[in-house]
Structure 1
Amino acid sequence: MMRMAAFQMQPVCGDAGANLARIGHAAKAAAKAGADLLVAPELALTGYGAGEAITALAEPANGSQIDQLRSISKANAIAIVAGFAERDGDHVYNSAALVCGDTRPAIYRKSHLYGDYERALFTPAKPASCIVQLAGLKLGMLICYDVEFPENVRRLAQAGAQMILVPTALPAGPSGDFIAAHMIQVRAFENQIFVAYVNHAGSDERFTFAGLSRIAAPDGSLIAACTDANEQLFFADIDRHAFAASIDGNPYLKDLTRI
């Protein structure tokens, strides 16, 4: 069993130091509660609505921001996933890092950029299957808009992922409400996996966020969720064996290979 903590966070736009400090406080609280993993939102280190400041703050995966995130992970004996702006040569990617102490970080780059705002700031990556083993589970990563394409989730599920971690920046409004209330649970059910969808809280200089972070189980149920857009840290115990009946009764991945 893995205990995870989800941090529906309100970052400070353009202040990576302040945001790392907030993640550090959350990591300490999560570790104290027995969590193996803490997940923060998309672009948690820069703030989503920081605009051109994101380009200035972009760092390589071996830069100081990820080094500090690794130090937080090591100090609290907890793995951490957080979104950051990754610079690689002339390109800047909307990325997420999974750090676990001294081990090499796993980096996922967003493949499906949303809207003119993201396209002006980032290079889209080719779809990729980034899977990491932690606490007995195979974890895949996507970022925000990526999860709205069923092909991305199915690709990870077919590659063996048992849970998908999705740092997001879901805006407030009818579309965002629908995605949070319905799509995330469907993605979990149709692939018989867990999906952790972790959003921003509140608002920043450019955007107002829906909050509504949630963790869905293979049977489509919610095992943990936020009901509002306030900043909060919440927990879920991930036990794949508890959903064995659902996995056996809805063998979509097995039956897909027979078509």
Structure 2
Amino acid sequence: MKIACLQTVCGATDVEQTLDRLRDAAGKAAAEGAELLIAPEMTVGGYPLQYAALAQSAGPAEGPQCAAVSEIAREAGIAVAHGWPERDGTHLYNAVRLVGRDGRPLAVYRKAHLYGRAEQELFTPGGSGVVQASLGGLTVGMLICYDVEFPEAVRAHALAGTDLLLVPTGLMSPWDFVAQTIVPARAFESQLYIAYANWSGEHGGLRFCGRTTIAAPDGTVECLGPTASGGDQLLFGEADPATLASARRTTPYLRDRRPELYES
């Protein structure tokens, strides 16, 4: 399955602007033959987290913000994974939603590991470790940004049969090594693909490092985005079932585990 990651520039944006950028990216990705587009953390509303934009972009999974993304997927004929602030009653979640090429909702994941005081004060942590859906013959799972830095989170997906792990992110400098080193290591040690889509640029005193990454289970990196760019970029890779099968035969970490030794 050909996949595309959107690396987009941060800045002062509103919901309509972020949706327009996503619409443009979806059309271009589909034209290049991609079946799935992964956009960064908080796709709708954008980063940095500004209260006015957050209030405008927050809503339920069946709300108008998500309905607009479903329509984008339908128009372009491509599956889309997008971030947004999910409002559920009195709770606000940092969430990612996956929709099929027909716009039909497939899954919603709420970020479980919240990074820093700002996120911890703003959001409620999600309570589900593994959220999956079937897409293009692959089992697709989702995490968000900081989640992927916990090896247990990725290994739980591997044990549950995830083939392709989607990770919308908002990684800032100087933590570029997460994209360059940790993400490929997670893909190799848990024998799955990881698509890690990040912001780039600087705004409001925050600098996002780019480095969007598609890492394969055989230790290779399908693509690594630049640290900075003058505009939005699409980076492409292939999630190949044959590579998955070969990597799992060659490096059988999951088969050779001895979990009885790791229990407290």
**TM-score bucket of the superposed structures, by smaller chain:** over 0.9
Residue type of the partner of 1:114? Answer: Y
Aligned to 1:96: 96
Residue type of the partner of 2:111? Answer: K
Q: Is this contact kept in 1: 2:192–2:244, CA < 8 A?
A: no
SS of equivalent to 1:201 = strand
* Distance apart, 1:116 and its partner CA: 1.0
C-alpha separation between the residues in 1 aligned to 2:244 and 2:122? 40
Alignment of 1:1-259 (within 5 A): 2-53=1-52, 54-100=54-100, 101-173=102-174, 176-230=175-229, 231-256=232-257, 259=260
* Distance apart, 1:258 and its partner CA: 6.7
* Distance apart, 1:104 and its partner CA: 2.6
SS of equivalent to 2:167 = strand
Q: Is this contact kept in 2: 1:163–1:195, CA < 8 A?
A: yes
SS of equivalent to 1:208 = strand
* Distance apart, 1:121 and its partner CA: 1.4
Q: Is this contact kept in 1: 2:218–2:243, CA < 8 A?
A: no
The range that moved more, 202-211 or 67-76, is 202-211
SS of equivalent to 2:109 = strand
CA distance 1:13–1:84, shift in 2 (3 Å): farther
* Distance apart, 1:201 and its partner CA: 1.5
CA distance 1:258–1:50, shift in 2 (3 Å): closer
The range that moved more, 249-258 or 164-173, is 249-258
SS of equivalent to 1:161 = coil
C-alpha separation between the residues in 2 aligned to 1:236 and 1:126? 31
Q: Is this contact kept in 2: 1:12–1:19, CA < 8 A?
A: no
C-alpha separation between the residues in 1 aligned to 2:155 and 2:26? 30
Q: Which runs of 5+ in 1 are unaligned?
A: none
The range that moved more, 47-56 or 195-204, is 47-56
C-alpha separation between the residues in 1 aligned to 2:120 and 2:51? 12
Q: Which runs of 5+ in 2 are unaligned?
A: none
SS of equivalent to 2:203 = coil
* Distance apart, 1:102 and its partner CA: 3.9
User: TM-score scaled to structure 1, two decimals?
Assistant: 0.94
The range that moved more, 8-17 or 213-222, is 8-17
C-alpha separation between the residues in 1 aligned to 2:67 and 2:251? 42
The range that moved more, 90-99 or 56-65, is 56-65
Q: Is this contact kept in 1: 2:45–2:56, CA < 8 A?
A: no
Residue type of the partner of 2:223? Answer: A
The range that moved more, 186-195 or 221-230, is 221-230
* Distance apart, 1:243 and its partner CA: 4.5
* Distance apart, 1:177 and its partner CA: 1.7
Residue type of the partner of 1:140? Answer: G
SS of equivalent to 1:190 = helix
SS of equivalent to 2:74 = helix
* Distance apart, 1:163 and its partner CA: 1.1
